[in-house]
Structure 1
Amino acid sequence: MSEMPVVINEISAAYKELSPQMQRAAMVVLDDPRAVAVHSMRVMAARAGVSPPTMLRLATRVGFPNYEAFRDVFRRGVSTGTYGDRADNLRRRTGHDGVPGLIARTAEAAIHGIDGFTEAVFSHEVGRVAELAAAAETTYVVASGASFGQAVSFHYVCRLAMPGIELANNMGIRAIDGLATAGPKDLVLAISTSPYAAQTVEAAQFAHRRGVPVASVTDRRSSPIALIAEAAICIDTSSPHYYPSMITLNASLEILSAAIAVKLGPPGVKAISDYEVALRESGYYWQDPNDR
């Protein structure tokens, strides 16, 4: 398996032998390798001022069967760098183009990631996970680290429509402990992106071995929680930040919670309405005394 520095060196070594158009394509890759991970072939071609097929020819020139295989190397390179390395790169890059540049690059990466939601495979997997969750007796959500915060929000929102949803590793218990009573009629929804949290992976594998259906929200089909999943929602977490982007993860979970509510139909709508009434009657929401 090729690594990003190896591919960059191969492009550099071949540069003088490339046609003028391919040299322009090569230069945009060499100038900003991380952009390859974030942007599509079409966007990179526009940056280089060449046609998309020229980017494809560059990829095949250095030994890749297609552009996606070429791009995957850069995705891995970006996601597997240490947080310290990425933080140092962030510091250097921001020192060059300032906070406005940082904001622009972050927004650009987020827009690109969310643009991937329009792909047919994303829609299919969201629909499939929603179907599994709506049909399950109990849906157990498993996440760790930064993803845990996203999972807590997702669990809270989903609980309005689907009372049978549990946060497996809530209240400080291990995720595996929370799945001890899960069975074939339940669902485990594992949430993790590279670098994958061991607790989440192990809990998903534990459930899978016991015959509990597993679904996942992750960053690639080859992730350990996607390989054992009945359905896997894959998102692009590329970002100039030193940590994988939480923007696309949060957005995908928001979409999934809405899709689950739709799949639940009228009972889900009634559950949401009843929950809201209970909150209002309990005084949960603040009211201006002048409006009472």
Structure 2
Amino acid sequence: MPINDEVFARMDELSPAERKVARALLAAWPTAGTESAASLARTAGTSTPTVLRLASRLGFGSWPEFQARVRDEIADHLNSPLRRSQEGIALGDGGTLGRAIADRVALVESLGTSVPPSEFDRAVAVLADRPKQVALLGGYFSRYFAMVLAAQLDQILPNVDFVAEPLGHDVGRFLQLGKGGVVVVMDFRRHELVAQQAAAAAKRQGATVLLITDTSLSPVVESADIVLPVTVDGIPFDSMTPLLVLIEALVEGVLRAAGPRGLERMRQWEESVRITRASRAAHAEEDVRDDTGPREVGAGNVEALALPGTGGAL
């Protein structure tokens, strides 16, 4: 099994510090595997001994032995007939729509290799385990997807908030986060400083930090307890298709994990919406009657509708 696949598959076996190294390794694979142990440790925000422990856990006697294996895998990949064939197919003819669909299908399928199942399961468990508060925030584009996730989780869980300005207008709600709370941060490349600062603040307050980011990894990883990396390559902008699929998978997972509690919350939510809609419909009907009543024109009030300057004639 290739090293990166093994690291991905064994993510749940790693200690929190080793998991940071693994994330840094996978985020810049295979280049990160050719760096010195000290350099990788700096990138991951851990120590050189932690990097060496990860290599040992993977069955390597030393870091140079690990690096040699990485270089061998790079050489094998570059010389692979399969790789060359796949690239040739990718460059073949095809309509723009067809290529766009194929590219996005591939991005969705890449979730299977970018998101460690153990990390996804931890994310579902944390959200479904009666958190005191769930706060969601995002960046320039990803904030809209954070709003979608917040709106859907709100139908399953209590105390869910989208926080537009965690260090500004919404700082009061954000400061409520503490032990037992969860903050979901979406931060994609051109990573934003406010996301990093907000995550660090939530971490200091004792909240669990769940990061959803691109595979180059946001600096928020320094504060994150759980990281779900998504491949978003696209032209001309990053494709958010796999992010939306991940959101839907999270919501489905949380509903299944919450069980009867989640279903009861949905029932209450639907009932409230039904009552609200019925009330609005009734008010709208009254408004229509009020508006149309005075406009009825009979023989006795035709002159009241005469246009100015017509002497009373229509």
Same fold (TM over 0.5): yes
- Kept in 1, the 8 Å contact 2:181–2:207? The answer is yes
What is the TM-score with the length of structure 2 in the denominator?
Answer: 0.56
Change (3 A) 1:252 1:285: farther
SS in 2 for 1:211: coil
Structure number with greater Rg is 2
- Kept in 1, the 8 Å contact 2:189–2:216? The answer is no
Change (3 A) 1:166 1:190: same
Once superposed, what is the RMSD of the aligned Cα atoms?
Answer: 3.6
Q: Does 1:104 align with 2:98?
A: yes
Find 2:198's aligned residue among 188, 199, 203.
203
Which one has more relative contact order, counting CA pairs under 8 Å at least 6 apart?
1
For 2:142, the equivalent position in structure 1 comes to: 147
For 2:23, the equivalent position in structure 1 comes to: none
Output the CA distance in 1 between the equivalents of 2:263 and 2:186: 26
What does the per-residue CA deviation read over 1:133-171, in whole Å, with 9 as the maximum and x for residues that have no partner?
A: 122211111112111111111111110011221112269
Q: Which stretch has the larger CA shift, 100-109 or 231-240? A: 100-109
Output the CA distance in 1 between the equivalents of 2:116 and 2:203: 23
Find 1:274's aligned residue among 265, 268, 276.
268
Percent of aligned positions that are identical: 17
Output the CA distance in 1 between the equivalents of 2:136 and 2:242: 18
Find 1:228's aligned residue among 214, 223, 228.
223
Supply the AA of the counterpart residue of 2:99: R
Structure 1 residue 238, shift from structure 2 partner:
0.7
Find 1:247's aligned residue among 228, 241, 247.
241
For 2:295, the equivalent position in structure 1 comes to: none
Output the CA distance in 2 between the equivalents of 1:193 and 1:174: 22
For 1:29, the equivalent position in structure 2 comes to: none
- Kept in 1, the 8 Å contact 2:166–2:198? The answer is no
Q: Does 1:46 align with 2:46?
A: no
Change (3 A) 1:203 1:171: closer
Q: Does 1:169 align with 2:208?
A: no
SS in 2 for 1:237: coil
- Kept in 1, the 8 Å contact 2:167–2:198? The answer is no
What is the TM-score with the length of structure 1 in the denominator?
Answer: 0.60
Structure 2: tracts of 5 or more residues without a match: 1-30, 32-74, 282-314
For 1:59, the equivalent position in structure 2 comes to: none
Residues 1-292 of structure 1 mapped to structure 2, 5 A cutoff:
44-48=83-87, 101-119=95-113, 121-135=115-129, 136-169=131-164, 173-174=168-169, 176-220=171-215, 222-240=217-235, 242-283=236-277
For 2:35, the equivalent position in structure 1 comes to: none
Change (3 A) 1:145 1:42: farther
